[in-house]
Amino acid sequence: MAAGVVADTSFLITLADPKRQHHKSARQYWRHFTENAIPLFLPTIVVSEFYIKQEIPPDVLRACVVLPFNWDDAVKAARIDFSKQERTDGQRDALKDDVKIMAQAIVKDAAWIITDDSQSLYKLALALRDSGASGVQPIKLEDGFDKSLFEPTRQRDLPYSQE
């Protein structure tokens, strides 16, 4: 049974920076994961990208399960074949990392992957899911916090009105 969420670099950046547009959503998801004991997987690829600008805060690191990039991940990434994937901004290296992170999510049998990158990683995750190559549900921060993503029925609450 799938469990846990894989954190993308853009999620960590948004979580760490209160000035980012979707910081509030990132905080809400973080709180939800920690309060509900949902494993938060941190790929070493994400660590290497994040560390370019800053260190991962110790409290964040303690709450995560670090995922080294291993043999099975490499084989899955090769089978995804990043050369066939489309990235609209033309950054080939970033696409290679996105494919590797998705491969780890698939191999780990993660239930979700969370990102603030709606233009590439999110689209890649959707394409893989739609094709049947992945069961990982992508979450993008720009949609805001949605608790229904974690409910078995995916049932959303009805809007409350005091009329």
Digit-coded pLDDT (tens) for 81-105: 766 555 445 555 678 899 999 999 9
Q: What is the pLDDT of residue 152?
A: 76
Q: Is the pLDDT of residue 162 over 90?
A: no
Three-state SS string over the chain comes to CCCCEEECHHHHHHHHCCCCCCHHHHHHHHHHHHHCCCCEEEEHHHHHHHCCCCCCCHHHHHCEEEECCCHHHHHHHHHHCHHHCCCCCCCHHHHHHHHHHHHHHHHHCCCEEEECCCCCHHHHHHHHHHCCCCCCEEEEHHHCCCHHHHCCCCCCCCCCCCC
Spell out the domains of the chain, with CATH numbers in brackets. Answer: 5-146 (3.40.50.1010)
Q: What is the pLDDT of residue 4?
A: 95
Q: What is the pLDDT of residue 7?
A: 97
Query: 28-37, 56-65, 79-88: which has the highest mean pLDDT?
Result: 28-37
